[in-house]
Amino acid sequence: MLDVLGNLERTHSCGELREQNVGERVVLMGWVAKKRDFGVFTFIDLRDREGMTQVVVSSETVAEAHAKAKSIRGEFVIAVKGTVVSRAEGTQNAKLATGDIEVKVEELLILNDAAVPPFQLEVAGSENLAAEDTRLKYRYLDLRRPQLQHNIRMRAKAVKAIREYFDGRGFIEIETPILLKSTPEGARDFIVPSRIHTGKFFALPQSPQILKQITMIAGFDKYYQIARCFRDEDLRADRQPEFTQLDMEMSFVNREQVYREMEGMFNHVLKLIDVDLPAEWTRMTYAEAMRRYGSDKPDLRFGMELKDLSESLKGTDFAPFADTLEKSGEIKCIVVKGKADYSRKQLDELQEFVKRYGAGAMAWIKIGDELTSSLLKVLGEAKITELAAAAGAAKGDAVLIVAGKRSVVAASLGALRNEIARRENLIDRSKYECLIVTEFPMFEHDDETDTYIAAHHPFTSPMDEDLEMFKTAVNDPSQHNLLGKVRAKAYDAVINGYECAGGSIRIHQKDVQALNFKALGMSPESSRSQFGFFLDALEYGTPPHGGFAAGIERTCMILVGTENIRDVMAFPKTASAQDLMMDSPGVVDPSQLDELGINVVDE
RNA sequence: GGAGCCGUAGUUCAGUUGGUUAGAACGCCAGCCUGUCACGUUGGAGGUCGCGGGUUCGAGCCCCGUCGGCUCCGCCA
């Protein structure tokens, strides 16, 4: 028989009692984390969100409570009334914040029993943790673990800090609709059928992009929102179909003014974990980031920059390299310090790794006691020595070389750089390295359709310096591929190799916007049918404006030091976009479909 | 859409060349135990080896398919 709570009130949490509370009569409530039964007395570790306290029930002093304690098990919900007592010398527990005291129980109430948990919440190491699918099915149990409690609370603090920051800077929080209209660009939309307008659909926002620009046109000057976003694309370790963004926009500003807000916001948030970021972050152009790191979001916590070997290999008759150079590709490398002892097997693994990014092969040079290289036979020892010198490698180092299309070389060596840093433990986990990557390209070439698509989104402003080139590229068909050279006023904030925020200065003049739609191959008619309301809005006095959006989850991942986005979301989905606890998505009642005029066709 | 790794007791794992009764630890159940905090101790219960098919005298192990989890590529303006 369970006890009733009645009028009993907690006096303290399970994490706060200390030596100075000794002698106080207290009431604690929580979950039984562990029970240790010694026959005549029983220890219980009582847990709540604030921590753990040991309570003792003795059969000699409180026979009734002790009898009840016999029947409890892990995750039972209990209340104890008792006195805080100091623990005898030698019986304190240094691992517990409350370990100098314990509560001597006078009365014990079993507020609820609990089934035996499907997995153990308290395990020695993370490697003994139950498989993630089991924990996702019983998410409410997994969330009881102190680590996840901490993560979710850190997320709440981060969101609060963000609101503090923007509120303090005069920004106005404005909510935008979740039900809006599908637009064809970008990610796949999640769509929602309309009952009232049978056959028509709303779309969930991929981001509030257009609406936040309209808040600028509407004269709010500084807008922000903690906005839920939805993208029906495949998941990754750092990507979920629904996620949360800090979305902000401001009027009458240049790029530097937006950078200041990005810096200011992240600097404020990182204080939560006592990290002081520089007031002004490093700026690096996209071109430089790609050249030096092979990535538009380089992790600057370690070096190992990419080195170009193309110059040294000019005129080589080794066919793969000669072909690459002829097709204006690149031959680049990274130097791995002290890894001349890489085994053949390890090098093969690394080659397999870069092949995932489209590299045809990975050549290597090892400067051990002897100079060895996969290229020794084809290039000769003199050339290999020259290459090693050009790469800046010293005795004891390994040089890993990839040749091919520029984009492939960057992707594969950029990824290899991160992979080696991870494998060789080159990353100082106490470091936080941030930068702003600037001047992203305006367009990306789509090889499949041989067209240019917006690299950021179709409302991004080109760089003033590139405006003439942009006009030429759009208006002169023979100059069309100049589009690939046009730079945008687009930027990303990068912390520790994670893209934490991105944004741009927007186009505020309708003729430039029209030019951009034309560049993207959209006729005036199709742009009007998709964005007509927005083009109308641009007609009525749009201020220059720009902003950014920051990933809340990615920011929280940095705050709690995890590489798994599910660790910072209360109710995440699996890699196949299912919720194992609710078992969603699920089928709906046929009557619901009838009402919406929807037929489900079997595959 | 593609690739890799994984799937054995409630949980984490082991399981030899394919061999007869599938093990360990934790958890669970029943005892014992006056200072534990990974308590100790005695005993016990607990298995559709993800699922389906195949090869074989015989399959946890080999083969094919399939489902699920994780990670990556494509995708994510």
Q: Can you give the pLDDT at residue A603? A: 59
List, for residues A366-416, the tens digit of each pLDDT value. 999 999 999 999 999 999 999 999 999 999 999 999 999 999 999 999 999
Residues 433-472 of A with CB under 7 A from strand B: 444, 453-458
The spacing between the Cα labelled CA in A582 and the C1' in B53, in angstroms, equals 32
Do residues A205 and A227 lie in contact, with contact meaning Cβ atoms separated by under 8 Å? yes
**Nearest residue to A588 (alpha-carbon basis) of A243, A192, A234:** A192
Do residues A436 and A386 lie in contact, with contact meaning Cβ atoms separated by under 8 Å? no
Is A172 (CB) below 7 Å from strand B?
no
CA atoms of A351 and A330, how far apart (whole Å): 17
Do residues A54 and A44 lie in contact, with contact meaning Cβ atoms separated by under 8 Å? yes
Locate tokens 């089934």: which residue? A115
Nucleotide with smallest C1' distance to residue A118 CA: B10
Q: Can you give the pLDDT at residue A184? A: 64
A68-81: burial string, b at 16+ Cβ within 10 Å, e else: bbeebebbbbbbbb
- The CA–CA distances, whole Å, from A512 to A91, A179, A488, A507 equal 75, 29, 13, 7
Helices (H), A72-208: 132-137, 139-142, 146-168
Nucleotide with smallest C1' distance to residue A124 CA: B38
Do residues A456 and A490 lie in contact, with contact meaning Cβ atoms separated by under 8 Å? yes
List, for residues A146-164, the tens digit of each pLDDT value. 999 999 999 999 999 999 9
Nucleotide with smallest C1' distance to residue A73 CA: B28
Q: Can you give the pLDDT at residue A185? A: 64
Residues 189-228 of A with CB under 7 A from strand B: 206-207, 209
Residues 258-317 of A with CB under 7 A from strand B: none
| Average pLDDT for chain A | 94
Peptide bond into A320 cis (omega under 30): no
Say how many C-beta atoms besides its own lie within 10 A of residue A128's C-beta.
8
**Nearest residue to A75 (alpha-carbon basis) of A43, A113, A107, A110:** A113
Task: Give strand B nucleotides closer than 7 A to any protein Cβ.
Answer: 1, 10-13, 26-29, 32-40, 68-77
Q: What single letter denotes the amino acid at residue A321?
A: F
Phi/psi of residue A153, each to 5°? Answer: -70, -35
Say how many C-beta atoms besides its own lie within 10 A of residue A379's C-beta.
21
Confidence at A529, pLDDT banded by 50, 70, 90: confident
Q: Can you give the pLDDT at residue A449? A: 79
Nucleotide with smallest C1' distance to residue A502 CA: B77
Q: What single letter denotes the amino acid at residue A191?
A: I
Q: Can you give the pLDDT at residue A530? A: 83
List, for residues A163-208, the tens digit of each pLDDT value. 999 999 999 999 999 999 987 668 999 999 999 999 999 999 999 9
Give the SS3 label for residue A124. coil
Nucleotide with smallest C1' distance to residue A185 CA: B77
Name the helix (H) or strand (E) containing A47.
Answer: strand A41-48
List, for residues A254-308, the tens digit of each pLDDT value. 999 999 999 999 999 999 999 999 999 999 999 999 999 999 999 999 999 999 9
Report CA dihedral (A356, A358, A361, A362) to the nearest 10 degrees.
-70
List the structure tokens of A459: 């409302």
The spacing between the Cα labelled CA in A445 and the C1' in B72, in angstroms, equals 24
Phi/psi of residue A227, each to 5°? Answer: -115, 135
CA atoms of A596 and A228, how far apart (whole Å): 25
Give the SS3 label for residue A369. coil
Say how many C-beta atoms besides its own lie within 10 A of residue A490's C-beta.
28
Is A571 (CB) below 7 Å from strand B?
no
Confidence at A345, pLDDT banded by 50, 70, 90: confident
Is A184 (CB) below 7 Å from strand B?
no
Phi/psi of residue A268, each to 5°? Answer: -65, -45
The spacing between the Cα labelled CA in A184 and the C1' in B16, in angstroms, equals 59
Say how many C-beta atoms besides its own lie within 10 A of residue A559's C-beta.
20
List the structure tokens of A151: 């993560």
The spacing between the Cα labelled CA in A122 and the C1' in B42, in angstroms, equals 26
Nucleotide with smallest C1' distance to residue A237 CA: B71
Q: What single letter denotes the amino acid at residue A186?
A: G
Say how many C-beta atoms besides its own lie within 10 A of residue A429's C-beta.
9
CA atoms of A205 and A227, how far apart (whole Å): 9
CA atoms of A494 and A466, how far apart (whole Å): 25
Q: Is the dihedral of CA A313, A319, A320, A325 positive or negative?
A: positive
Counting residues of chain A whose pLDDT is more than 90, the rounded percentage is: 87
The spacing between the Cα labelled CA in A130 and the C1' in B16, in angstroms, equals 28
For residue A294, the 8-state DSSP code is S
Residue A125, pLDDT > 80, answer no
The spacing between the Cα labelled CA in A240 and the C1' in B68, in angstroms, equals 19
Name the helix (H) or strand (E) containing A444.
Answer: strand A443-446
Is A137 (CB) below 7 Å from strand B?
no
The spacing between the Cα labelled CA in A351 and the C1' in B63, in angstroms, equals 30
Counting residues of chain A whose pLDDT is more than 70, the rounded percentage is: 99
Number of residues that make up chain A: 603
Per DSSP (E only), the strands in A157-305 are: 172-173, 191-193, 201-203, 222-230, 242-251, 282-285
Residues 493-512 of A with CB under 7 A from strand B: none
Confidence at A430, pLDDT banded by 50, 70, 90: very high
Nucleotide with smallest C1' distance to residue A577 CA: B69
Residue A562, pLDDT > 80, answer yes
pTM of the prediction? 0.94
Q: Can you give the pLDDT at residue A413? A: 97
List, for residues A459-512, the tens digit of each pLDDT value. 999 999 999 999 999 999 899 889 999 999 999 999 999 999 999 999 999 999
Residue A124, pLDDT > 90, answer no
CA atoms of A32 and A47, how far apart (whole Å): 6
The spacing between the Cα labelled CA in A107 and the C1' in B43, in angstroms, equals 33
